[in-house]
Amino acid sequence: MEFDDIHKNLVEILGDDNVYLNEDMSKHSSFKTGGMADVFITPSSKEKIVESIKAINKYDVPFTIIGNGTNLLVRDKGIRGVVMSLYDNFNIVRVEDDKIIAQSGALFSAISNYACRASLAGLEFASGIPGTIGGAAKINAGAYGGEFKDVFHSATLLKRDGTLIEADLEYMNYDYRGSSITDEIIVEVIVKLTPGEVSTIRNAMVLLAKKRKEKQPLNIPSAGSTFKRPKGEYAGKLIESAGLKGYEIGGARVSIKHAGFIVNTGEATSTDIETLIKKVQEIVEKNSGIKLEPEVQIIGEE
C-alpha cells in the first residue's frame, strides 16, 4: 500500500518532525525487537490527536495506539498502517488539590513522583512501572498490592469516529490487568489520591524500588511479567517448577533472576520471544494443568 497521501496529510497537521515513514519499532518497544511501522506519528496536543484520527479515518488503513511500548511485543514483520505514539510528546501533568490531571503520554512513574512531592499518597506502587499513564489506564497496571483502578477518577477518551467522551469507573469496567477499552484512545487521565506525609510516601517508594531491583532483571530488555498471574498461583513459580528457568529459544530466555520474565539476551527476534511464550505455555500446562495467559500484548503482522 502507498502511504504518500496519508503521510502528506498527517505532515500538514503534525509537522515534519512528528510523522515518520517506515519507523523501526524496536526503538519503541522495551523488548528492543520488532519490524517497521508503515507510518508512525507523535502528536503533541489533544487537538492534534483528534485531527489526526479524523484524517486517518478518510483512508482504509489499520490504526494502532501505543504508549511507551513496555507491555508490547511487536512482531518482526512490523505494523501495517498508522501507529500513534503518545509517549514523550504528550506528557503535561498538573496537580489540583487531591487530584492529578495528566496527559496520557506522561510516565506513570513520573506521576508517582509528582504525587509524592505534592504529599499525595496512593501511587507509591506505580513508582517502578515504566509505562505511560495511558497504558496503565488501559491494562489496569498494578504492583505490590496496588492497582490503577484504586486511584482512577475519570478519563477523556477519543472514540475512533473522532468524538471525545468522559469515562468514569463504571465505563472502564476494570478487572485484573484489563478494562473495557478496545479501540478508544485514552487522552487525559485524572487520578484521585489521599493526603499523606512526603517522608512516608518516599520511604514506601524506596522500599518497593529495592524489592524490584532484588527480584527483577531490570538491566535486560523485557516487557515486565510476561504472563498474567493465574488465580491462587504465581506464573514465575509455575514456570520454575516446570524446569524452565533459563530455557532459551534463539536470543530469548526465561530469566534466571525471575522466571516470570522473558528477556532479550541481545540478539532476540520477536519470533524467538513469541515462540518461547508458546513453549512456556505448553510445558507449564503439561506440568500443572494451568494455561498461562500472556500479559504482554502481541501486535503486528503475523
Ligand X SMILES: Cc1cc2nc3c(=O)[nH]c(=O)nc-3n(C[C@H](O)[C@H](O)[C@H](O)COP(=O)(O)OP(=O)(O)OC[C@H]3O[C@@H](n4cnc5c(N)ncnc54)[C@H](O)[C@@H]3O)c2cc1C
Minimum CB separation of residue 104 from ligand X in Å reads 4
Minimum CB separation of residue 121 from ligand X in Å reads 18
Q: What's the rounded Cα separation, in Å, for the pair 239 and 258? A: 10
- Binding residue for ligand X, selected from 34, 35, 78, 135, defined by CB under 6 A: 135
Question: What binding mask, one character per residue, do residues 24-43 give for ligand X by CB under 6 A, x or -?
Answer: ------x-------------
Could you confirm whether 184 is annotated as catalytic? no
* Closest to 284 in 3D by CA, of 256, 252, 243: 243
Q: What's the rounded Cα separation, in Å, for the pair 152 and 175? A: 13
Could you confirm whether 301 is annotated as catalytic? no
- Verify binding: residue 143, ligand X, rule CB under 6 A: yes
Question: From the centroid of its chain, how far is CA 124?
Answer: 18
Residue span binding ligand X (CB under 6 A) among the ranges 13-21, 47-55, 126-134, 190-198: 126-134
Minimum CB separation of residue 287 from ligand X in Å reads 25
- Verify binding: residue 223, ligand X, rule CB under 6 A: yes
Full 3-state SS string of the chain: CCCHHHHHHHHHHHCHHHEEEEEEHHHHCCCCCCCEEEEEECCCCHHHHHHHHHHHCCCCCCEEEECCCCCEEECCCCEEEEEEECCCCCCCEEEECCEEEEECCCEHHHHHHHHHHCCEECCHHHHHCCCEHHHHHHHCCEECCEEHHHCEEEEEEECCCCCEEEECHHHHCCECCECCCCCCEEEEEEEECEECCHHHHHHHHHHHHHHHHHHCCCCCCEEEECECCCCCCCHHHHHHHCCCCCCEECCEEECCCCCCEEEECCCCCHHHHHHHHHHHHHHHHHHHCCCCCECCEEECCC
Question: Catalytic residue among 225, 253, 255, 274, which?
Answer: 225
Could you confirm whether 225 is annotated as catalytic? yes
- Verify binding: residue 167, ligand X, rule CB under 6 A: no
Minimum CB separation of residue 156 from ligand X in Å reads 10
- Verify binding: residue 260, ligand X, rule CB under 6 A: no
Our CB check for ligand X shows the closer of 148 and 247 to be: 148
Our CB check for ligand X shows the closer of 143 and 283 to be: 143
Question: What binding mask, one character per residue, do residues 54-93 give for ligand X by CB under 6 A, x or -?
Answer: -----------xxxxxxxx-------------x-------
- Verify binding: residue 131, ligand X, rule CB under 6 A: yes
Minimum CB separation of residue 1 from ligand X in Å reads 21
Minimum CB separation of residue 233 from ligand X in Å reads 17
Q: What's the rounded Cα separation, in Å, for the pair 157 and 27? A: 26
Question: What binding mask, one character per residue, do residues 102-121 give for ligand X by CB under 6 A, x or -?
Answer: --x-----------------
- Verify binding: residue 130, ligand X, rule CB under 6 A: yes
Binding site for ligand X (CB under 6 A): 30, 65-72, 86, 104, 129-132, 134-136, 138-139, 141-143, 181, 185-186, 218, 222-224, 297
User: What amino acid positions are annotated as catalytic residues?
Assistant: 177, 225, 295
